[in-house]
Chains A and B, each alone.
Chain A
Amino acid sequence: MRFRAKIVDLACLNNFSRVINTIAKLAKTCTLRLTVCKLYFILSDKVANGGASMWCELCQGNFFDEFQMEGVAAEHNEIYLELMPENLSRALKTAHSAKAVKIKLTNKHCPCLRVAVELPSLSSSSRIVTHDIPVGVIPRRIWNDFREPTVPDFDVSIYLPVLKIMKSVVERMKNLSNFIVIEANLSGEMNLKIETDLASVTTHFKDLGNPPWEDECQSSAQGRDLESMAEARIDIKKLQQLLAGQQVNPTKALCNIVSKRIVHFILLHEDVSLQYFIPALS
């Protein structure tokens, strides 16, 4: 089982750092799945995460100049690692002016991802900073726990408002309440509501647009009254973390609401897709 990768291009490096920073805001510990073509950051919906789960997918070719991977076995050419994305984020934090960043899976004292940052220096040789990030190797027999989640049978699918605005609204609401209700309909209208003993606050968004899905996914939404709202009450912190982690505006941002069950967020960038599921609370 081997893994070696290298990033030489600064733009790719910054891009990769941004992805890692986003992931670090969403999960303290997560699973990194490596395949020949892609990297996945996965958080499965355990109780410890408050039931939230995440699936983030990147094409390695968009980031790495070199990428070599040998999985656990020929017919299972993949590697699953458990790690703390915050460590990776910290390792890349001071690599802005790096000449190259190499990542390698090693087993010196325990399995680690060794991130070696080569920086320019005034001396004859480059400055090399290495960060050994401890990882847990996840055995094949439990890989099934980390399968890609399916798009739920949603009631309403709607594009999100401009994330910056949504973030500042949610951040202020967070000061007043621990829970927020997201409701939306198929006429492009979304409301964010909180309620406390003393006040209830609602922010209305309209003309957001509803994404067109293929017929088979729309079973619950088909024939649905356009004005009728699907709603879910979720932990406001989870929503705030998701929005705070977005450092760049996504190309597409939408959410699927299964009334009173779950909210499924999809954020698409050019080379990264992020799905985040927040379960509804009663």
Chain B
Amino acid sequence: LSRIGDELYLEPTEKGLSLRAVNSSRSAFASFLFAPLFFQLYEPGGPAPDTDYFRCKVHMKSFLGVFRSLPTLEKSVGKCLILLKPRTSRLVLQLHCKYGVTKTHNLAFQECERLQAVFDTQRCSNCLCAPARVLADAVVHFPPTLAEVTLGAGPGGKISLRNYVEDEAEPSKTMVTELWLAEDEFQSVTVSPGSSITFCLKEFRGLLTFAEASNLLLTIHFDEPGRPVVFTLDDTVLEVHLVLATLSDLESSSLPPTTNGVSHLPTPADDLADDLESYMVALETSTCGGASGGPPSPTFPLRAPRSDPEEQEDEEDEDGAVPGTPPHKKFRSLFFGSVLTPGRPGLAPTQEVLAEDSDGEC
């Protein structure tokens, strides 16, 4: 969660304690729902009936600071008590350690409204399910600094992962890494061929690290480019959702740039032109000077992304309400649920005008 945002949202519900985070550009959202059974004791509400459960947010760093060294904690801490004290405005984290030592941390919090990204996995036409390890092994081939990755469905049921190269970057200077995952590496694959999405790798890597450590199955739900991709992990006592905005170029980035006007789906076979004769002839006979003089390499046809009319209306509302930084590049902000919609993630209201959650305004 700390890889996503600077604030940790705590939302107790009858279904369990939900920890959530969102990034400043509203293009990444994650929630971890711990069922009551996960805890030795779970009391979500105060004594007064008919009141909404108390929600708050704290600084991520303060919260993490309490659990700083995991190996030490595992050795010395017996129990951990998390207590919300609205009247004193403190979130109490109490660690009961060995030898009768009790460490109590009082964190200041801010009351907040419900943080809920709007998404509906039912509406996603594509779904992949695999052990997290498969994807973690795949993602390791991309440099740690890579920003975005494109996931696509190729021919033969293969799933591809490729680093995303921005339009502005020179294609003849950027290294492209691509790998293919066979259908039988997944537990289930339901995708339409040629579909693809591009999303940020950083948050995804964070989720993979968690999932791999817990040995969980990862499910990926996605739709068209521009609509958010939802990653879920399911366990008996834990439900995790990571929602990332995807790049909404009208031209899907799964298709390689056209060469000679003919575009074809990428194939994993290596039947590529490895004969540079014609290129060399052109190079030798060109009259341009300089070391790399010669015929310019075929360039990628540049396509200016046009905004999707359906999205525009919603985005305007988003922009109007979002106090934070504008969306990163062409990633659309995720839709965030209005205060009035109760219910768990997954039950999305209609896609019409949605009010931004208003932090701290009571």
Contacts and interface: CB of A to CB of B under 8 A. Distances in A.
Contacts of A121: 137, 182, 185
B355 interface: no
Contacts of B175: 87, 90-91, 131-134
Size category of the B interface is 35 or more
Contact of A90 (B143, B172, B184): B143
Specify which of B175, B268, B272 lies most central, judged by the most chain A CB atoms within 10 Å of its CB. B175
A133 B178 CA distance: 12
Interface string B264-296: 000010101111110110011000000111100
Given A1-B280, A90-B143, A109-B171, A130 B178 contact: yes
Interface in A90-126: 90-91, 94, 102, 104-111, 114, 116-117, 121-125
Interface residues of A, number: 43
A125 B137 CA distance: 15
Secondary structure at the B interface, as helix, strand, loop or mixed, is loop
9 contacts: A72-B284, A87-B175, A91-B175, A107-B275, A109-B257, A111-B279, A129-B178, A131-B177, A132-B178
Contacts of B292: 82, 136, 138
Specify which of A87, A104, A110 lies most central, judged by the most chain B CB atoms within 10 Å of its CB. A110
A128 to B, nearest CB: 6
Interface in A128-172: 128-134, 136-142, 145
Interface in A68-95: 72, 82, 87, 90-91, 94
Q: Which 6 pairs from chain A and chain B are nearest by CB?
A: A110-B297, A129-B179, A123-B182, A110-B172, A132-B176, A1-B276
Contact of B179 (A130, A134, A138, A140): A130
Specify which of B138, B143, B177, B298 lies most central, judged by the most chain A CB atoms within 10 Å of its CB. B177
Contacts of A102: 270
A128 B180 contact: yes
A109 B297 contact: yes
B350 interface: no
A65 to B, nearest CB: 17
B289 to A, nearest CB: 10
A127 interface: yes
A138 B280 CA distance: 9
Contacts of B40: none
A133 B172 CA distance: 9
A82 B280 CA distance: 14
B293 A139 contact: yes
Nearest to B180: A128
Contact of A127 (B174, B181, B256): B181
Contact of B277 (A1, A106, A116): A1
A2 interface: yes
Interface of A: 1-4, 72, 82, 87, 90-91, 94, 102, 104-111, 114, 116-117, 121-125, 127-134, 136-142, 145
B141 interface: yes
Contacts of A91: 175, 177
A4 B273 CA distance: 12
Contacts of A117: 141
B174 to A, nearest CB: 7
A49 to B, nearest CB: 14
Contact of A2 (B134, B138, B180, B275): B275
